[in-house]
Amino acid sequence: MPGGSVHFALRCSAMVAGCCSLLLAALPAQGADSPSDWLERMATAVQTINYEGTVIRVSGDRAEALKVVHTVSDGVVREKLVAQEGNGLEIIRNGNEVHCILPGRKSVLIEEWNDQSTLFSTLPTSQVSFGSEYDVRIVKEDRVAGRKALKLAIKPHDDYRYEHRLWLDAETGFPLQTQVIGTAGQALEQVKFADITLGREIHASAFMPSYSTEDFRWYSPPRRQVTTVVDSEWSSDDLPLGFRIASSQQEQMPGSQELVTHLLYTDGLANVSVFIAEVTDDKVAARSQVGASNTFSTVRGGRRITAVGEVPAVTVEQIANSMRQR
């Protein structure tokens, strides 16, 4: 009868509503932590947590698998990355010194390194202007490398910067996966752990080379001489909104007496380096892209101006073309 059908439908609706309430009650409450709280947890995790595992790194059409071991003790980073394909490249970092071991060439290249992560090239900092240049939100719960994760999306308000996606470990906030998304919605770069162990004590022997390097050739490139400049005579008169000067230096290139001006612009997430030097070739302007990194070079007033950064091509082009000398 019609009345009975209505009564049955109402009972079903009530049962469904009850089940949904139970399911919602069983889910972890995400409202307690805002996206900014999760980003702070991520920053702490990257700087303090020991980890080891297998990571897949993708840049453009190039993909590589790496075994990674990483510790931090008294602020000193120790890290070992081993390529799982190709010539067996090993990269061993101890503080600010990095050894690149090339077993096929029986060579070791010694390089200086700054405080930047060797694995994660771009992670947001406290200087990001959320609500001004970017919006950040928690998208959903997910799983990466067999661990519960929370997916965050950082979306720009304009075409001068990229979207970033982060999958943070639900327990520690460690970034299990990161993506840089191009203006067409494609993943330009990605770092993703296939397996990972977090927080375990790692013995010092884990950072020893897998090869005997006694008969290897060791190369140490000449160091650049860097002088900090408080006030550069160069500046941009048309920076994209949100970018600001972070540092200004003069650098002497190895094997040359020429001084190169190096200006760093940032919005807290995207960074653009501008190099200004005397013209040494006949090129007028040049563009290039590798993964998420774009480069644009132009000539003005007898100086070559080159802007490079993990930003869209329009950003480096505008910044390079807007540089003026007082």
Over residues 214-233, the pLDDT tens digits come to 899 999 876 666 666 767 88
Please compute the mean of the pLDDT values over residues 160-167 and round it to a whole number: 96
Q: Ranked by mean pLDDT, which of 16-30, 90-104, 213-227 comes out on top?
A: 90-104
**CA dihedral for 183, 185, 187, 192, sign (positive or negative):** positive
Quick one: pLDDT at residue 111? 87
pLDDT at 17 over 60: no
Q: Ranked by mean pLDDT, which of 60-64, 134-138, 254-258 comes out on top?
A: 134-138
pTM for this model (two decimals): 0.82
Percent of the chain exceeding pLDDT 70 equals 83
**SS3 of the chain: helix, strand, coil, percent, to 5:** 15, 45, 35
225-325 CATH fold: Phosphorylase Kinase; domain 1 (3.30.200)
pLDDT at 301 over 90: no
Domain with CATH 3.30.200.100 in the chain: 225-325
Domain with CATH 2.50.20.10 in the chain: 35-218
Confidence band for 27, pLDDT divided at 50, 70 and 90 = very low
Angle (CA) 111 112 116, round 5°: 120
Residue 283 C-beta-side C-alpha neighbours within 13 Å: 12
- Which stretch of 48-52, 105-109, 112-116 has the lowest confidence by average pLDDT? 112-116
What pLDDT digit, counting tens, does each position of 34-46 carry? 888 999 999 899 8
Helix segments in 211-272, DSSP class H: none
Quick one: pLDDT at residue 11? 37
How far apart, in whole angstroms, are the C-alpha atoms of residue 281 and residue 286? 12
Quick one: pLDDT at residue 255? 64
Query: What is the average pLDDT value for the chain, to the nearest integer?
Result: 84
Q: For the domain with range 35-218, which CATH number is right: 2.40.50.140, 3.40.30.10, 2.40.30.10, 2.50.20.10?
A: 2.50.20.10
How far apart, in whole angstroms, are the C-alpha atoms of residue 125 and residue 292? 19
